């Protein structure tokens, strides 16, 4: 019974957080605030009911909103075509789940993900410049930047005041308060009331229809548009899948559970497909809302369903109040969202990573902003693969007949186990190491011997970091054996001090001696 109460409370809390974001993403997409709300309601319900991550909260997200905005700009007077894109994207996600494509997401190199997320964050920030200044916005990044001087001549200073206050609340609200009442909700209510009280002449959301949404029939479009529709649907489906599964991984780390990627993609696909029938914008697993849901006590899919029902009740009974929300308030909220999406973990160590990883990150970042989202990811993965193959082949020539990474498990007793890693440890092989460690049972201490590893990349370092944290929570100790240059490289990017807190030796004998001293101490 307590579990159900916790799930209900967590669901209501997640809905309170989702409300201003759903409104903001709906307006930013060009489909309207109500489309954002129903996207959160419909996708949130079906993804929770059929998905593979019980505590995940789904709804409109920044990356998905960017693609929807581009789709609406491509079909400005053809909403059924837009919903056809959403419908086909949902079908594709379901097919991804059925064939098990979700397991491949973990092979995307970290610099690609970092460049992509930073690019999405910058896109959201740039596209909100005009609404922040009280001027009609554009759907194009390049158009927004090239017409900036013209925009500055049309500034509505009352809108700037409202947006600035909103942004200040978003950034400056103490965490103790925001854990109780989300800063976005504080800004939404307070600044809207302030705007009405001061009689500011600013653009607002406008009338939001009460009641259930109207039925929209997708698959009603000009056949000549099929190529463009399929391209956008593929973009939307891939982006939604990546976004959702990355959030699922975050949920796993918080709850110490393991999501089902097949079911998750099927649930997301069903939700987005149903969204297309009601004119709602699609979405994906939302990281911030999911974390808040878990921190509020959620343990089952009941919380996600309650989140959707709560939002539905708000739409049915409180929609007229939302019509008075200034667009500049939503711009302030979205700019903060854009800053939150930026990958600060990676940005903090830009001056310490290799030139290859930096090249990948910057390439993906620029392509995401100025060209195309899926092209950005595709180019990033291609460059990463070429560089990885080059490193492996170069090492193979130096180390004769060693073209593959192998893992040998030496089990000498039940308390201490040794894993020897030979070859290159990079974004592909690091996951194999994690899989091997997951199968180990009964060990108090685990030695990972990387003395024969010739190459580490940043993805492998971050994977090792996650492994250490995960096993520490299980009361296991990870001991590393590293070459000096690898130790120096790892410690140089150890921004969270994870590696500085563990034992790292330069030889396997030293590591074994340490574990024997541990055994003697315990047996003595």
Reported confidence tier of residue 101, pLDDT bands at 50, 70, 90: confident
Residue 433, pLDDT > 80, answer no
Model's pTM, two decimal places?
0.72
Range in 67-81, 323-337, 464-478 with the lowest mean pLDDT: 464-478
- pLDDT given for residue 427 in this prediction: 64
The mean predicted confidence, pLDDT, of the chain is 83
Residue 429: exposed, middle, or buried by beta-carbon count in 10 A (0-12, 13-18, 19+)? buried
Residue 30, pLDDT > 60, answer yes
Both structure tokens of 389:
């193959």
Give me the mean pLDDT over the 50-65 stretch.
91
- pLDDT given for residue 518 in this prediction: 58
Residue 399, pLDDT > 50, answer no
More confident residue, 268 or 352: 268
Q: What single string gives the DSSP state of each residue in 407-448?
A: EEEEE-SSSEEEEEEEEEE-TTHHHHHHHHHHH--S-SEEEE
| Percent of the chain with pLDDT strictly greater than 90 | 22
More confident residue, 59 or 105: 59
- pLDDT given for residue 414 in this prediction: 47
Reported confidence tier of residue 221, pLDDT bands at 50, 70, 90: low
More confident residue, 124 or 268: 268
Give me the mean pLDDT over the 469-476 stretch.
78
Residue 473, pLDDT > 50, answer yes
Q: Where are the beta strands (DSSP E) in 207-278?
A: none
C-alpha span between 258 and 117 (Å, rounded): 24
DSSP bridge partners of 456: 425
Torsion of CA 224, 92, 252, 118, to 10 degrees: -20
C-alpha span between 290 and 285 (Å, rounded): 8
All residues at 6 or more sequence positions from 199 whose CB lies less than 8 Å from its CB, including other chains: none
- pLDDT given for residue 117 in this prediction: 81
Reported confidence tier of residue 429, pLDDT bands at 50, 70, 90: low
DSSP bridge partners of 235: none
Q: What single string gives the DSSP state of each residue in 442-468?
A: S-SEEEEEEEEEEEE-HHHHHHHHHHH
Which is nearest to 333 in space by CA: 139, 180, 185, 176? 185
- pLDDT given for residue 167 in this prediction: 92
Residue 286, pLDDT > 90, answer no
Give me the mean pLDDT over the 199-209 stretch.
81
Give me the mean pLDDT over the 190-209 stretch.
85
How many beta carbons lie within 10 A of that of residue 31, not counting itself?
26
| Maximum Cα–Cα distance across the chain | 81
Give me the mean pLDDT over the 306-315 stretch.
90
- pLDDT given for residue 494 in this prediction: 87
Residue 440, pLDDT > 70, answer no
More confident residue, 396 or 462: 462
pLDDT in tens, 368-390: 888 877 788 788 888 888 787 66
Which is nearest to 162 in space by CA: 324, 402, 48? 324
Residue 210, pLDDT > 90, answer no
More confident residue, 402 or 411: 411
Asked if residue 80 lies in contact with residue 217, where contact means CB atoms within 8 angstroms, the answer is yes
Both structure tokens of 247:
């959030």
SS3 call for 523: helix
Q: Which residue has the tokens 């970042």?
A: 365
Give me the mean pLDDT over the 126-133 stretch.
90
Range in 234-238, 274-278, 520-524 with the lowest mean pLDDT: 520-524
More confident residue, 374 or 409: 374
CATH code for the domain defined by 406-523: 3.30.750.24
Highest mean pLDDT among 211-225, 359-373, 506-520: 359-373
pLDDT in tens, 151-169: 888 899 999 999 999 999 9
C-alpha span between 134 and 195 (Å, rounded): 13
More confident residue, 318 or 93: 93
- pLDDT given for residue 1 in this prediction: 64
Reported confidence tier of residue 237, pLDDT bands at 50, 70, 90: very high
- pLDDT given for residue 410 in this prediction: 47
C-alpha span between 31 and 219 (Å, rounded): 18
- pLDDT given for residue 120 in this prediction: 81
């Amino acid at each position: 019974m307590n579990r159900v109460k916790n799930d209900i409370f967590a669901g209501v809390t997640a809905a309170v957080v989702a409300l201003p974001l759903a409104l903001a993403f709906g307006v930013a997409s060009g489909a309207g605030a109500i489309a954002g709300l129903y996207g959160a309601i419909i996708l949130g319900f079906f993804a929770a009911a059929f998905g593979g991550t019980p505590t995940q909260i789904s709804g409109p997200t920044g990356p998905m909103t960017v693609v929807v905005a581009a789709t609406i700009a491509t079909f400005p007077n053809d909403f059924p075509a837009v919903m056809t894109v959403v419908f086909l994207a949902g079908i594709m996600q379901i097919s991804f789940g059925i064939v098990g494509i979700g397991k491949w997401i973990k092979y995307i190199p970290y610099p690609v993900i970092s460049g992509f997320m930073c690019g999405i964050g910058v896109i959201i920030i740039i596209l909100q410049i005009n609404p922040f200044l009280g001027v009609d916005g554009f759907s194009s990044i390049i158009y927004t930047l090239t017409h900036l001087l013209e925009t500055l001549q049309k500034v509505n200073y009352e809108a700037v005041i409202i947006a600035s206050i909103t942004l200040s609340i978003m950034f400056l609200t103490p965490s103790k308060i925001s854990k109780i009442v989300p800063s976005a909700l504080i800004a939404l209510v307070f600044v809207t009331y302030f705007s009405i009280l001061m009689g500011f002449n600013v653009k607002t959301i406008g009338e939001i229809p009460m009641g259930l949404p109207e039925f929209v029939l997708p698959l009603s479009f000009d056949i000549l548009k099929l190529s463009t529709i399929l391209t956008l649907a593929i973009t939307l489906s891939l982006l939604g899948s990546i976004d959702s599964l990355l959030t699922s991984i975050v949920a796993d780390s918080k709850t110490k559970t393991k999501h089902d990627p097949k079911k998750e993609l099927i649930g997301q696909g069903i939700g987005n497909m149903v969204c297309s029938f009601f004119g709602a914008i699609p979405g994906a697993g939302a990281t911030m809302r999911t974390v808040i849901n878990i921190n509020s006590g959620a343990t089952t899919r009941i919380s996600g369903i309650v989140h959707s029902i709560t939002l539905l009740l708000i739409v049915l009974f409180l929609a007229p109040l939302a019509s008075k929300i200034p667009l500049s308030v939503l711009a302030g909220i979205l700019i903060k969202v854009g800053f939150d999406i930026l990958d600060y973990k990676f940005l903090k160590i830009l001056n310490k990573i290799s030139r290859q990883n930096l090249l990948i990150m910057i390439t993906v970042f620029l392509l995401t902003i100025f060209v195309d989202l899926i092209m950005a990811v595709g180019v990033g993965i291609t460059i990463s693969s070429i560089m990885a193959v080059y490193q492996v082949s170069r090492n193979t020539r130096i180390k004769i007949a060693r073209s593959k990474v192998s893992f040998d498990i030496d089990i000498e007793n039940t308390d201490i186990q040794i894993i020897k890693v030979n070859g290159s440890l990079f974004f592909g092989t690091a996951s194999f190491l994690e899989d091997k460690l997951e199968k180990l049972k009964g060990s108090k201490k685990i030695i990972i011997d990387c003395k024969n590893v010739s190459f580490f990349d940043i993805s492998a370092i971050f994977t090792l970091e996650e492994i250490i944290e995960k096993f520490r929570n299980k009361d296991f100790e990870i001991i590393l054996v590293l070459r000096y240059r690898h130790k120096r490289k790892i410690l140089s990017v150890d921004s969270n001090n994870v590696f500085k807190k563990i034992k790292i030796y330069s030889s396997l004998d030293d590591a074994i001696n340490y574990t024997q001293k541990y055994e003697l101490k315990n047996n003595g």
